[in-house]
Structure 1
Amino acid sequence: MDLESWVGTAELLVKEPLPAHQEARDNGVSRPGLHVARLMESRDFWDEDAQAAMGSTYLVYGQMRDRLTQALTARWGAPEFVDLGAALDRALAGEPLPPTVDHLCNVASGPAPPWRLGRRTVMVAVAWDDKELPWS
């Protein structure tokens, strides 16, 4: 997928209705209050040799996140700042979080800049569900 396709995916998801129940979708999932699109997915990291590749994979994914952030900033203006670490602390203290922030607190690594577009929030992040699984 190229950068313009990713921007198009983000714009589509902003307009798409949110489901009442979790639904699988091509390269992602939708659930109440949230659409998740996996724009890139690395290989998994089950074998020992793969451990060395994790760092360089994360760097490439971070660079792509930054490029997408720049493209969306050009289109929608500057994003806000959300400290996912502080949000996770609030969640652990029992405070409910918005669905997008709640999801990213469980999988995101590094920055996750949000744009507020009407009643929707768009966030871009590098996600990693577990140590052996692919980056997305």
Structure 2
Amino acid sequence: MTDIARHLAAIDELRARPFPDRPVSGPLLESGPGFHIADLRVSEDFWDADLARVAEVDEEFDAELRCLIQALSRRWGEPEAVDLTDHLERSALHEPVPPPLDSLCSYVGRLHAWRVDGRWVAVGVGQGDRELPIQLVAAIGEGDMR
């Protein structure tokens, strides 16, 4: 099974999974009322990495994200681009940001999202800080993404 096929299977599993009544966290999955966030792939840490290595891994993750977006677009059409900058600014000002966007905006700048069967499905790549791993994430949620 290819990486993209595994990612699609993980997204399908998340879409079918009920949302919990209270927040639940695991090593690769965070869930709560109305959402799931899953790490589809996580790179190594970059504490002592040179910038060339970071750029190489970043490019690799962006390419994988593009392939995943293409696969999901074949299913559901073109995605909506969702810039999370406003959510990050509101969070910094201690204004309310709905979950899971409150968590995602701290390390993902942009999501590619589809509305499917009453939920939204989004994918993106992010990194919390230069030394931290790069993450390819999928999120499933209810309600508005704005």
TM-score by length of 2: 0.78
What corresponds to 2:142 in structure 1? none
> CA shift at 1:92, angstroms?
4.7
Deviation digits for residues 53-104 of structure 1 (CA, Å, limit 9, x no counterpart): 1111111111111110110111112211222123333445665434233222
CA distance in 1, matches of 2:27, 2:106: 21
CA distance in 2, matches of 1:62, 1:125: 9
Structure 2 SS opposite 1:99:
coil
* Alignment of structure 1 residues 44-63 onto 2, 5 Å: 44-47=45-48, 49-63=49-63
RMSD (CA atoms): 2.1
What corresponds to 1:112 in structure 2? 111
CA distance in 1, matches of 2:97, 2:12: 23
Identity rate, percent: 35
Q: Kindly tell me: are residues 97 and 116 of structure 1, through their superposed partners in 2, closer, same or farther at Cα, counting changes over 3 Å?
A: farther
What corresponds to 2:138 in structure 1? none
Deviation digits for residues 85-135 of structure 1 (CA, Å, limit 9, x no counterpart): 2333344566543423322211114x3111112332211111212221111
CA distance in 2, matches of 1:26, 1:129: 16
What corresponds to 2:129 in structure 1? 130
Residue-pair matches, total: 134
Q: Kindly tell me: are residues 53 and 128 of structure 1, through their superposed partners in 2, closer, same or farther at Cα, counting changes over 3 Å?
A: same
Does the 8 A contact of 1:114 with 1:122 survive in 2? yes
Structure 1 SS opposite 2:100:
helix
- Name the one with the larger helix percent: 1
Does the 8 A contact of 1:22 with 1:29 survive in 2? yes
* Alignment of structure 1 residues 69-88 onto 2, 5 Å: 69-88=69-88
Q: Kindly tell me: are residues 12 and 60 of structure 1, through their superposed partners in 2, closer, same or farther at Cα, counting changes over 3 Å?
A: same
Paired residue type of 2:116? L
- Name the one with the larger strand percent: 2
- Of residues 27-36 and 68-77 in structure 1, the stretch that sits farther from structure 2 once superposed is 27-36
